[in-house]
Amino acid sequence: MKPKHLRTFGAAIFILLLLVPVFFKSTFVLHIYTLIFFYIALTAAWNIPAFGGQLSLGHASFFGIGAYTAAILYVKYGVSPWFGLLIAVGVSLLGGVILSLPLIRLRGPFFTLASIAFTEVLRMVAIDWRSMTNGSVGINIPFKPGFKNMTFTSGEPFYYLFLATAVIVVLLTYRIRNSALGFHLRAAASDDEAARALGVNTSLAQFLALMWSAGLTGVLGVFYVFYNYVMEPNTAFSLDLFSLQPALNGIIGGMGTVWGPVIGAVLMTPLGEFLRFYLSTIQQGLHYVVYGLVLILTVKFIPGGILSILEPLISRKKKDRDKPKEKEERS
């Protein structure tokens, strides 16, 4: 598909999505769409370090930091969530610095395991620091409808907020991947030693990628806590919801690509919600088994994700379309 046609197709999809709340008034339908947009943005943010071959399972740490920062500032000190959003991004970036400085040189499973440990430490801090976080009880967002409080009487405002966020984050990841930073990250993922030999500072590239990812994830943490009105440590730093789920989406859709996270989130989010509610009535945690099977089959048979299947088909159609033009030019 040509870039012009791709932009037209994307604009048409965006306009249709803008009209969804007009034709679908069901709260459940809007909630599912909102979750899809949320996970598109979260997976795309998670995917930025994956451009450089880093698989992080600690993004729940940045998510929880952002969520708690904005919630505490609003509930305890009366700071507007929109201003708290800026502070939350800064604190999330600080968390990214703390994580990256000692761990950025780690590669493969060592980085992945260290990122999980970082999240677990923050979860324990949130549980034990009762004077600030209310411990395991968590923080409840008071219902005071109004734009300045990021609190609304219906789900439509958050639908549009998460839609806009998803579009912005995906466009940002596209720009990053096709920038100098993106080329350095891909060089590091391909052959880190060779890239260093050619003068590429791969550690700096990985650091900047993690900073972008941490900041965007912190933003999503703020939006999520005000969407749900409640936040407690086991949810804010949930390995399942905010670390494993975006990783699963990215791997199934196509890790290290721009559109892979979008495809993975669109497919896995409604499936995950269905499995979580349906299978939990049969056996608690059974949906994890299905997740594991899907991930194993994907890695086994399509290690490049769903996008690796679609790209050859698109390229083949493009070649078939261009053949008549080549024949006409020769004749």
* H-only helix segments in 81-201: 81-103, 109-128, 130-133, 156-177, 180-190, 192-197
What's the predicted TM-score (pTM) here? Answer: 0.89
pLDDT at 180: 92
Q: Nearest to residue 170, comparing CAs of 306, 12, 36?
A: 36
> Average pLDDT of the chain?
84
Q: Tokens representing 46?
A: 């998670």
Q: How confident is the model at residue 106 (pLDDT cuts 50, 70, 90)?
A: low
Phi-psi region of 279 (alpha: psi -120 to 50; beta: other; left: phi over 0): alpha
Task: Check whether 313 has a pLDDT greater than 80.
Answer: no
| Contact between residue 32 and residue 273 where contact means Cβ atoms under 8 Å apart | yes
168-187 pLDDT, tens digit each = 999 999 999 999 999 999 99
Number of other residues whose CB lies within 10 A of the CB of residue 61: 33
> For tokens 């801090």, what's the residue?
125
- Kindly state the average pLDDT of the residues 89-109: 78
Q: Nearest to residue 155, comparing CAs of 274, 37, 265, 272?
A: 37
Please state, in angstroms and rounded to a whole number, the distance separating the CA atoms of residues 204 and 209.
9
Q: Tokens representing 308?
A: 């690796």
254-284 pLDDT, tens digit each = 888 999 999 999 998 888 777 777 766 676 6
Q: Tokens representing 4?
A: 């012009």
pLDDT at 330: 57
Please state, in angstroms and rounded to a whole number, the distance separating the CA atoms of residues 10 and 109.
36
Q: How confident is the model at residue 97 (pLDDT cuts 50, 70, 90)?
A: confident
14/167: higher pLDDT: 167
